[in-house]
Amino acid sequence: MAKSKRSGGRWIQQAIKRPGALTEKARRRGMSPLQFARQVVSNPDAYDTRTVRQANLALTLSRLSKRRKKGGRKRRKKRS
């Protein structure tokens, strides 16, 4: 993988400590992972810290994937 100058390259792989944990919690409640993540973020006091962090990461990653599908950020032209 190419290393990004800004984020250090592999921050996503390092951020995911328990793959599938949030999905499992969502499935137990009969929801999709994104529905559950939105519910957790809207009411963080009802959930433990780990679940809130997992939900925030899930929402962040979903936004990143949407941005990639659209074509990424618009880059500014360098001024000469």
pLDDT tens per residue across span 18-76: 888 889 999 999 999 999 999 999 999 999 999 999 999 999 888 876 666 666 566 66
For residue 12, being part of any structural domain is answered with no
Q: Report if residue 3 sits inside a domain.
A: no
Residue range(s) defining the domain that contains residue 49 = 18-68
CA dist 73 and 80 (Å) reads: 21
Residue 41 lies in a domain: yes
Q: What does the pLDDT read at residue 17?
A: 81
Task: Return the pLDDT at 64.
Answer: 79
Residue 7 has pLDDT above 70, yes or no: no
Angle at 60 between CA 33 and CA 32, to 5 degrees: 10
**Domains of the chain: total:** 1
Closest CA to 11 of 57, 43, 55: 57
* CA gap 37, 8 in Å, rounded: 26
Identify whether the C-beta of residue 18 lies closer than 8 Å to the C-beta of residue 33: no
The residue whose two tokens read 């250090």 is 8
Position 52 scores a pLDDT of 94
Q: Can you give the pTM of this predicted structure?
A: 0.67
